[in-house]
């Protein structure tokens, strides 16, 4: 197999925009589509977000992923805002490997919190529903 003769430029490869696949999903709560972020793309995003060179971002990303893997393998709970609380829910040994089932609990967003506060205020103002209709 021959190596490519294309020269790399200093610019990170721009990929086509992907549709947002949030955890909210449809009306039934199912996640619509799963988008995988590969390690190289994660490194590129870290480099762009932090402003460091790609090589430094790769080293930092490798270190962070190694520490996360060690902590989860040891059964530790990770508190990493704004990501959330990440805990090992269950461990299963399968075909020479270990499957870690993780539980991620995220804090309410600002929009979600304000909506919950508004709902609570409406409930306080209106009070409990009457037991019977008033007579006319």
CA 43 to chain centre: 16
What mean pLDDT is predicted for residues 73-85?
Answer: 90
Burial degree of 12 (CB within 10 A; 0-12, 13-18, 19+):
middle
- Residue 48: predicted pLDDT: 96
Report pTM.
0.54
Q: Which residues, at least 6 apart from 32, have a Cβ–Cβ distance to it below 8 Å?
A: 21, 25, 26
What mean pLDDT is reported for the chain?
Answer: 75
pLDDT in tens, 80-118: 888 899 998 998 988 888 888 989 999 876 655 544 555
């Amino acid at each position: 197999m021959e190596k490519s003769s294309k020269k790399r430029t200093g610019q990170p490869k721009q990929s086509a925009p992907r549709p947002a696949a949030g955890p909210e999903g449809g009306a039934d709560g199912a996640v619509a589509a799963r988008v995988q972020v590969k390690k190289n793309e994660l490194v590129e995003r870290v480099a762009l977000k932090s402003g460091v060179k790609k090589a430094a971002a790769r080293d930092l990303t490798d270190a962070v992923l190694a520490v996360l893997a060690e902590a989860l393998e040891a059964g530790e709970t990770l508190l990493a805002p704004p990501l959330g609380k990440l805990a090992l829910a269950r461990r299963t040994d399968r075909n020479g490997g270990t499957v870690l089932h993780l539980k991620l609990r995220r804090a309410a967003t600002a929009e979600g919190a304000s909506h919950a506060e508004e709902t609570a205020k409406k409930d306080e103002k209106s009070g409990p529903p009457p037991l019977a209709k008033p007579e006319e």
